[in-house]
Structure 1
Amino acid sequence: MSSRMEGHDDHDGFYMKRYLKRHVKTCLQRPTTSGAEDFRTADAQSYLAFRSVDQKFIDELRFKEGILNMRCDNIAFIAKSDPLILSFAAFYAKRHRHNHLNKVTKNKIRELARLWKDMKKYINDKNFFAALKPENFKYFVLSTQNITGCNHNSQKFEKAPSLALHMGTTLRKVCEFAFSEIQQKNHIFISGLDILKKTKDIKVLKELIKNNWNAEVSSVANENLVENQWNKPTIIPLTSDIKKLNDYVKLRAEQCADKLKKTRR
């Protein structure tokens, strides 16, 4: 064995020394005694979730380190079990190269997983990719309203109006990404698929979101955010307060200058 290469004790494989430590952190076959407790739990959940997804597909995604280390709950499991959400997460993470920005990607993953979890109550599509069709637009709207705490009587998003506001943009990006994957003949998505029909469905759904999301969701959410700002006004200092502060600063500056002159004598 070359002195520049080292073996991995947990499975057959050789890695450059400088890459071995990085690989051990993300390897699904490493023993559970290594790493922090939350990482071990996240790894176990990822391993279980990935069993329902094609392994070759998982290997090709090449996730950034730490992307899938999130709170281990049902939302995380749903995200890790869905091919489109996983693919979009890997794609979205490319925009945030620094590891400290992984939280942005994790939040996006969990938002989509929460949406998909709620949508499954209304539709029978097997995964998020299959749900990308125009007849499901009303369920995208309804589930967004559900997870953001929309009160239809008061016309308010009581939990997360900001999420309701940007969910439409996220869904448009997901549609664009799914369309791109179809055009690139990604085997995990096009297997047994009527490509022409699915391409048309995604295009129409994207147009529905583009044209109708504002009326259905965003306008009310934006009003709620503006109202919340009104309820928490920014306190601006009065002119008299600024004058008092200015006079005090000048006085203290003169006093300090006098003391400095006396010490020099």
Structure 2
Amino acid sequence: MVACRRPTTAKQSDDYHHCKFCQGLYARDSLWRHVRNCPQKSVEGEPRAGRNRISLDLPKPDQVHEAVWKIACEMNQDDISLVVRNERDILNLGESLYNARKPHEKRNDYIRQKMREMARLLIAARAITPVKSTEDLVMPNNFRHVIQAVRAVAGYELESNSYKIPSLALKLGHSLAKLAGIVQCNAIISNRHAIAESAKQFATLYEKKWTESISAAALGTLQQAKWNKPYVLPFTQDVSLLHKFLATERVKCMTDLEKEPNSKSFGNLAKVTLTQVVLFNRKRQGEVSKMELRTFASRNCSKLNPDIMMCLSEFERKLAQHFDRVEIRGKRSRMVPVLLTPDMIAAMELLMKSRNECQVHAENVYFFARPSSFSHYRGSDCFRKYANQCGASNPEALTSTRLRKQVATLSTVLNLKENEMDQLATFLGHDIRVHREFYRLPESTLQLAKVSKLLIAMGKGRLSDLQGKGLDDIEINPDDEVDTGDDDSSEETAEDLPQHKGSRTETSADGTFLRPAPDSKTLDNMESTSESTSLDNVNSSNTQPRHDSQQNTALQVITSQASSNGSKGKQAGKTRSKWTGDEVKAVERHMLHFITSCRVPGKKDCDSCIQAEPVALKDRDWAAIKYYIHNRIIALKRKMNS
């Protein structure tokens, strides 16, 4: 072998490759430098490649798909690519993937990745197991060796039963299942029935044993990695800043491109417009980045149906006439609509008109094409660039995925109907199940904001006050003191309410006294006196003494009965006087929130009310105030139930 440059150290033949233009033999690590300036290179040439992405011009083996062989020759030139080119079954796997996928959707990158993954597995199997070829990987007697090789490649840790790269273990499992089918079909074609039967048995073995051997631990590692992971959503202020910054940059870039058309000004306007379209529509950046030129040029520009326009409001008709709509290819070959404003249309039309002047290849099918290349600009790179330049307080949160989650999260606050939720999910490019499971309000937020209210109410012993309410209707302060059984409790104690004949004492499971239950006669008297209190009088500061007298009558019934039975309650034997208007107003000025929240105050709250109104409440003690509020609550509840 005669190299164009003599090496200074000893080299192997695998360290050299031929230039596909001049056929000169150059070192593999420096071939990229020669290819850029090769004198035999055509005038138009090819897009500039990186250091390791040098396409080799090697003879294609028989019965190998030409496009797949080209992908194998364009790989990074290392030991993995060498295994790919020498293993026919790996090339057949690439051909199967190539035939199943449509063009212009990054299929070459996907095929390259899958073939390299299988080559990495084969290299690891050769190093630690007796397996020597790809066909040996799908033989039943080598199943345990395959498990060992997959664990080695994915970084399996025996003590924790986890993987460093769990996704790689799952991907290798899918590729092995497809490879077993390919080996079986090739063996049947070549009349190697024993190999075909072995591959079929491996497929059965894979179906029965792969989950417990590999998939279960890999999925567990993936799920555990999501625990306690913060859900960062972009701030509304940052999104507004990015919108304003992009609008200013678009005007500037359009002016530069009109004055001096070149690849730099074209690229700047393409990146700004791409970011604007993704940001406005909340689309996946990859879907908009891969928009094709013919898709934009063939968009539907016809007038809207007048019958449908009549069903819309005036504002909706103006919006429908303001925007343009283009349909692009989305995930899983779904149709995804994209709305374009007049400013976006003007910028995109300028980009389409300036392609030839800005060194954009005619074969480049992408709208947001890179000059002197066959690829397109990446939306993630554009977002990262402009998020850091716009002055956002949290630029890391400004990504297309998090913006989509922000829309779905805020849609839960709007309480959209079922059909409206379907429309939103369709516009975002996924079905309603994915929208609810992955894009809705995070479960942690629901637990913190809603379920916690129920737990606090249960801890404070106020669950009975929340009867008939939903989680959204509950309002409770977590800083309030937890109710106990002393005098400061909002629940009545044995000394607070006097006993009377025929009363029943309700107790909790631990024997704690809750409240006396009056007999049916007393309960009827209380109902008859409390039903006359209306809901309007609860929030009114001009409560009539007539209502107070009726409520006080009920208290006198209980007190007189308790006194006749020898009750030792604090209020037994005391003379009850009618509540005056000044006393009612004084209590409502300080204790009205207890009535409206249906919560009986404790001794400390009642004493505070007496201290605040010493003149009006000079003839009342804390227990009288407590009974008064208790009766007002009962009347309010009955009014609400009726």
Quickly name the TM-score band, shorter chain normalised: 0.5 to 0.7
The answer (yes or no) to whether the contact 1:88–1:177 under 8 Å persists in 2 is: yes
Counterpart selection for 2:119 from 94, 97, 113: 113
For residues 182-193 of structure 1, the aligned pairs below 5 Å read 182-185=187-190
The answer (yes or no) to whether the contact 2:138–2:179 under 8 Å persists in 1 is: no
User: Could you report, residue by residue, the CA deviation over 1:15-34 in whole angstroms, capped at 9, with x for unpaired residues?
Assistant: xxxxxxxxxxxxx9654544
For residues 216-231 of structure 1, the aligned pairs below 5 Å read 216-231=213-228
Q: Secondary structure at the match of 2:100?
A: coil
Which amino acid is the alignment partner of residue 183 of structure 2? A
CA 1:227/1:73 → structure 2, altered by over 3 Å: closer, same or farther? same
* Residue aligning to 1:75: 80
User: Could you report, residue by residue, the CA deviation over 1:27-68 in whole angstroms, capped at 9, with x for unpaired residues?
Assistant: x96545444455996443x73xx7xxx83233xx22258522
CA distance in 2, matches of 1:79, 1:64: 11
Counterpart selection for 2:103 from 73, 98, 103: 98
* Residue aligning to 1:138: 144
Displacement, 1:95? 2.0
CA distance in 2, matches of 1:231, 1:31: 57
Name the TM-score, length of structure 2 as normaliser.
0.28
Give the gaps of 5 or more residues in structure 1: 1-27, 247-265
**Number of paired residues?**
197
For residues 37-186 of structure 1, the aligned pairs below 5 Å read 37=49, 42-44=54-56, 47=58, 55-58=61-64, 61-64=65-68, 67-68=71-72, 69-99=74-104, 100-158=106-164, 160-185=165-190
The answer (yes or no) to whether the contact 1:182–1:199 under 8 Å persists in 2 is: yes
Displacement, 1:85? 0.3
CA 1:219/1:124 → structure 2, altered by over 3 Å: closer, same or farther? closer
Query: Could you say which structure has the larger radius of gyration?
Result: 2
For residues 206-217 of structure 1, the aligned pairs below 5 Å read 206-217=203-214
User: Could you report, residue by residue, the CA deviation over 1:197-253 in whole angstroms, capped at 9, with x for unpaired residues?
Assistant: 11111111111111111000100000000011114242579xxxx7xx99xxxxxxx
Which amino acid is the alignment partner of residue 87 of structure 1? N
Displacement, 1:108? 0.3
CA distance in 2, matches of 1:208, 1:92: 23
Q: Secondary structure at the match of 1:55?
A: coil
The answer (yes or no) to whether the contact 2:69–2:91 under 8 Å persists in 1 is: no
Of 28-37 and 131-140, deviating more is: 28-37
Displacement, 1:163? 1.4
Q: Secondary structure at the match of 1:56?
A: coil
Displacement, 1:138? 0.9
* Residue aligning to 1:202: 199
CA distance in 2, matches of 1:234, 1:145: 31
The answer (yes or no) to whether the contact 1:175–1:203 under 8 Å persists in 2 is: yes
The answer (yes or no) to whether the contact 1:165–1:218 under 8 Å persists in 2 is: yes
User: Could you report, residue by residue, the CA deviation over 1:63-113 in whole angstroms, capped at 9, with x for unpaired residues?
Assistant: 258522121111111111101001111121122222422111111001100
CA 1:86/1:38 → structure 2, altered by over 3 Å: closer, same or farther? farther
Structure with more contact order per residue of length (Cα contacts < 8 Å, sep ≥ 6): 1
The answer (yes or no) to whether the contact 1:96–1:102 under 8 Å persists in 2 is: no
CA distance in 2, matches of 1:153, 1:40: 38
CA 1:231/1:93 → structure 2, altered by over 3 Å: closer, same or farther? farther
CA distance in 2, matches of 1:235, 1:174: 40
Which amino acid is the alignment partner of residue 161 of structure 1? P
CA distance in 2, matches of 1:39, 1:201: 43
CA 1:231/1:72 → structure 2, altered by over 3 Å: closer, same or farther? farther
Identity, in percent, stands at 19
- Whichever structure has more helix as a proportion of its residues is 1
* Residue aligning to 1:263: none
CA distance in 1, matches of 2:199, 2:69: 31
The answer (yes or no) to whether the contact 2:122–2:132 under 8 Å persists in 1 is: no
CA distance in 2, matches of 1:211, 1:169: 14
The answer (yes or no) to whether the contact 2:68–2:95 under 8 Å persists in 1 is: yes
CA distance in 1, matches of 2:130, 2:98: 29
CA 1:125/1:217 → structure 2, altered by over 3 Å: closer, same or farther? closer
CA 1:124/1:219 → structure 2, altered by over 3 Å: closer, same or farther? closer
CA distance in 1, matches of 2:103, 2:71: 11
User: Could you report, residue by residue, the CA deviation over 1:172-206 in whole angstroms, capped at 9, with x for unpaired residues?
Assistant: 11111111122233xxxx6xxxx121111111111
Name the TM-score, length of structure 1 as normaliser.
0.65
Displacement, 1:150? 0.8
CA distance in 2, matches of 1:119, 1:42: 28
* Residue aligning to 1:249: none
CA distance in 2, matches of 1:139, 1:37: 38
CA distance in 1, matches of 2:129, 2:152: 15
* Residue aligning to 1:256: none
CA 1:126/1:144 → structure 2, altered by over 3 Å: closer, same or farther? closer
Of 215-224 and 31-40, deviating more is: 31-40
CA 1:30/1:130 → structure 2, altered by over 3 Å: closer, same or farther? farther
Which amino acid is the alignment partner of residue 63 of structure 1? A
Displacement, 1:131? 3.7
